[in-house]
Homo-oligomer: A and B are copies of this chain.
């Protein structure tokens, strides 16, 4: 079978230390990959770049919460019930399949099931009884019965469950955003797309909280003329943010702004703009929490259009669910321009009646009565220790009072850009990979942007001469001390060393030669032009720094 680009990249990735299949010495498991020395650096650089967009440009705050997540959280968020794939089991082959993976591409899952067109890909048997299978990894906290928990399917819930604390941190002003970068988990039924469908993956998510009455964004005006490639499942179009919002192609400014930020981030990371588009979710593919969602899709020669980022309007769904499930006040306050005076009714308990009637319980009942929202005061009851107690009207009086109210409570809406870092990393590799022949040999070139390249500079002595080696090692150390990742190499011909660096995307190579001994200058070679310039040793750090950012 001829190798396609995916095979070639994965071979390079393994040989040069980007990506290894996990647990390979024990046969491996689909859906798990390790990042080797270069891959781990590339991933960190992509994540750092992402943070610079959200922390610096958008002024978000960052938090970090556990992977293990209590059942109660995911019950409230809907994941226990809704985070499922329709699955069929082949009793003959003893294997299970996600329906979507094994049907003809022209059919939807619903159609395939209705028309009885689900077949075992191994033995061809018709499979029925499609049933939802939850995709979360489950575990137990503690021993014995313990407490039920799951590995988080998204980092977002860690942000939502802290909303009231973060809102206070943000001094109770909206909009504000909180981000989280970390692992997510999805126990795929039978993943068959290599690094594109992982069971454990790296996510970068931002949850931006808005007043639902005001989904504008302070930075929108400065970018509204920029264009984005949009696909609404009918036609491809290139629209400015302004036009897309005005024409209601995109529902609101906030959504459009974060789409644009995504486009900027992806192209800065090295995604090919020609292999990039936003696709709108059809209403039947929206996640259970979303009212509108756009995917940033990246094109792969092997996989076609891949969903790499989802930018969703989650509305008040999650906060509302957590308020209902936990009873905690997670509202925001919309302040009035000036305090309003409102008339309210208040229940004033009469202890001289309550006391004799309820004895020991009277104190608690008094407190409960005072906390009641006294709209309907004809029939008043309280719940004490699980018991519903009706309170006779002789026990209290209702007083009409006036109160100053500074604002009204509401549940914020959330715009969520959610990034799959591993998929982005793979696409950055694919979009920047090329191969040619040099002297009859295959030559690999990875045109990674300097900003994300795992190694920034290769440092070589031209020949294995102690004097040249000494200077090269000094330069190597100077660059490292300045925080620039280098690779020192004195093995093989200079052409071979350039080739090694080109293959892993190193943008610059420095060679120390005999002229260096005379005038302290070295050559700096540019990967993309292969042009060389001479730079003085003492100016090297600044010369490289300028080219990196």
Contacts and interface: CB of A to CB of B under 8 A. Distances in A.
Interface string A19-60: 010111111010111111101110100000000000010000
A183 B67 contact: yes
A485 to B, nearest CB: 8
A403 interface: no
A187 B141 contact: yes
A72 interface: yes
B63 A199 contact: no
A64 B422 CA distance: 12
A26 B70 contact: yes
Contact of A139 (B138, B143, B144): B138
**SS of A interface (majority):** mixed
A87 B480 CA distance: 49
A96 B144 CA distance: 8
A110 to B, nearest CB: 22
Interface in A283-334: 322, 325-326, 328, 330
B37 A89 contact: no
Contacts of A25: 161, 164, 322, 326, 328, 330
A426 interface: no
Nearest to A36: B63
Interface string A149-188: 0010000001001101110010100000010000101010
A171 to B, nearest CB: 8
A161 B24 CA distance: 8
A67 B40 CA distance: 15
Interface residues of A, number: 73
Interface string A358-399: 000000000000000000000000000000000000000000
Given A56-B480, A166-B37, A22 B144 contact: no
B189 A66 contact: no
A453 to B, nearest CB: 15
A146 B549 CA distance: 47
A102 interface: no
Contacts of A61: 17, 37
B20 A35 contact: no
Top 3 closest A-B pairs, CB basis? A37-B61, A25-B326, A26-B72
Given A37-B61, A40-B62, 14 more contacts: A17-B166, A23-B70, A24-B161, A25-B322, A25-B330, A26-B325, A26-B326, A34-B158, A35-B64, A56-B481, A68-B137, A133-B143, A139-B139, A183-B183
Interface of A: 14, 17, 20, 22-27, 29, 31-37, 39-41, 43, 56, 61-70, 72-73, 87, 89, 94, 96, 133, 137-144, 147, 151, 158, 161-162, 164-166, 169, 171, 178, 183, 185, 187, 189-190, 199-200, 322, 325-326, 328, 330, 480-481, 491
17 contacts: A14-B165, A25-B322, A25-B328, A26-B325, A29-B70, A36-B169, A37-B166, A40-B64, A66-B200, A68-B137, A68-B151, A68-B185, A68-B199, A68-B200, A137-B139, A139-B151, A141-B187
